[in-house]
Structure formats: structure tokens, C-alpha cells
Amino acid sequence: MSEMKKLYYRKRGEILVKNLKSRHFDAWYCENAEEALAKALELIPEGASVSWGGAMSAQQIGLQAALKDGNYAVIDRYAGQTQEERDQATKDAMFCDVYLTGANGLSLDGQMVNIDGTGNRVAATIFGPKTVLVIAGMNKVTDDLDSALKRARTVAAPMNQQRFQLPNPCTVTGTCADCKSETCICNQIVITRNCRPAGRIKFILVGEELGL
Ligand code: SF4
């Protein structure tokens, strides 16, 4: 990454950390994936039960791999052998100590937008796990809430659909058609604008391009 972009991300990151804190989130800015991984591991106590949903950025910094290698009670629904096991793990995740997730859009004034198909990820973000840890690359940050919503709907969701390849319009065109398909992945659109109890949701912002 160019020095100019690093500086640009750092300056916006500092503003965003301040604005997130004003909304009672905890927040840190890390220059790169390595720093972000160290910060995340510092925040997750050994022995904690940890799960995740829609946490591609956490995966990219190596967090899930480090947790699986370490002394943590990992609940990984993707490791389930049967649908029943995966469903149980999804339910268990709702009561874990630390839930990892990402952001589809993050406005510079400190509001997060997330879109969900099933709803488990946004549900866990809103209520349940003791702590929610959001790992987000600075590519997710937009100037205001409207542009964060737009990013989530027109960039993150159609890109995510390329992973799932469900029979939705954006799978074919790469463009959101505001569908009402049975297989639509945009069923819940959640804005998290303030944190209660204070500090339950923690952000690690990374000065790199991560996730979708
Ligand atoms: S076309 Fe449907 S599934 Fe695709 S991004 Fe738009 S609302 Fe979501």
C-alpha cells in the first residue's frame, strides 16, 4: 500500500476512533493486520468461549486460526458435520463470551451498517454475547451514514453473493436489484448507532483493505 493511502487511512481512523468512543463503543486503530491480530488477542481472555459470523476480516488477519490454536472454547458452526450440529453451534454462539464480526459499512461519525440473510450475525451483535469484537478494514469507512448504507447494499451484498452463488439477480449482474427473492441475503439491515452497555461492542480498525 502506498504511503499516501496509509496516511489517509490513519487520519480517518483517528477521527473514527474518537467518534466511536463518543457513542460508547471501545475502539482502536491498528496500522496493519499484524497489529490488529495482537490487539484482538489482547482483548480476548484465555479460556473465553468465542464464536463468529460474517467475520471475513477477522479471518484475513489470522484471528480464527490463532484462536483455534490457543486456549479458547471455539464455537465454529462451519465445522459442524451435520445441519443439526451447525444449527446447534449457531444457537450456542448467541451466548458466547466474545463474538467476532465485521462491518458492511461504517460511517465516519461512528455508525455501523450490517446486512444479514439469516439474521444470526446481526442478532448476536445486538444482544447475547458478552462482548462483540468488530474487525474492520478502513475500506469499509464512508463519509456519512447514507453512503455507509449504500456501500452495504450496493457493494458488500452483491460481492458477498459471489461467494454464495444463490439464485439472486446480483449473482448474475453484480448489481443489487432490490430483490424480494426467497434466497435474498439482504433480509435484515441493521444500523448500530450507539453502544449499551458501554464498551460491549469493540472495534479494531485496520489500515488495510479487508473483507468485502
Ligand atoms: S439483488 Fe437481492 S440479494 Fe442481491 S444485493 Fe440486492 S437485495 Fe441483496
Q: 189 phi and psi, to 5 degrees? A: -125, 110
Q: How far is the CA of 179 from the centre of ligand 1 (A)?
A: 5
Cα gap 115→147, rounded to integer Å: 14
Cα gap 73→126, rounded to integer Å: 22
51 close to 74: Cβ distance less than 8 angstroms: yes
127 close to 85: Cβ distance less than 8 angstroms: no
Query: Looking at residue 99, what is its pLDDT?
Result: 98
In a domain, 132, yes or no: yes
Q: Is the CB of 152 under 6 A from ligand 1?
A: no
Q: Which residues constitute the domain of residue 124?
A: 3-206
Q: Nearest C-alpha to atom 2 of ligand 1 is from which residue?
A: 179
Q: Is the CB of 62 under 6 A from ligand 1?
A: no
Cα gap 124→118, rounded to integer Å: 12
What distances in angstroms separate CA 138 from CA 13, 57, 74, 155, 212, one per listed residue? 7, 11, 27, 15, 11
Query: Looking at residue 64, what is its pLDDT?
Result: 97
Query: Looking at residue 11, what is its pLDDT?
Result: 98
In a domain, 142, yes or no: yes
Determine the residue type at 56: M
Query: Looking at residue 69, what is its pLDDT?
Result: 97
CA of 157, closest atom in ligand 1: 5
Average pLDDT over residues 16-33: 98
pLDDT range class, residue 95, cuts 50, 70, 90 = very high
Q: 173 phi and psi, to 5 degrees? A: -100, -20
In a domain, 211, yes or no: no
In a domain, 146, yes or no: yes
Q: How many helices (H) and strands (E) does the chain have?
A: 9, 10
Q: Is the CB of 178 under 6 A from ligand 1?
A: yes
pLDDT range class, residue 21, cuts 50, 70, 90 = very high
pLDDT range class, residue 148, cuts 50, 70, 90 = very high
Q: Is the CB of 157 under 6 A from ligand 1?
A: yes
In a domain, 212, yes or no: no
What pTM does this model have?
0.97
Q: Is the CB of 177 under 6 A from ligand 1?
A: yes
The CATH number of residue 140's host domain is 3.40.50.10420
Query: Looking at residue 17, what is its pLDDT?
Result: 98
Q: Residues 83, 122, 32, 38: is their CA dihedral positive or negative?
A: negative
Q: Nearest C-alpha to atom 3 of ligand 1 is from which residue?
A: 184
Looking at the chain, how many residues does it have?
A: 212
132 close to 203: Cβ distance less than 8 angstroms: no
The per-residue pLDDT of the chain, averaged, comes to 97
- Give the number of domains in the chain: 1
In a domain, 96, yes or no: yes
Query: Looking at residue 40, what is its pLDDT?
Result: 98
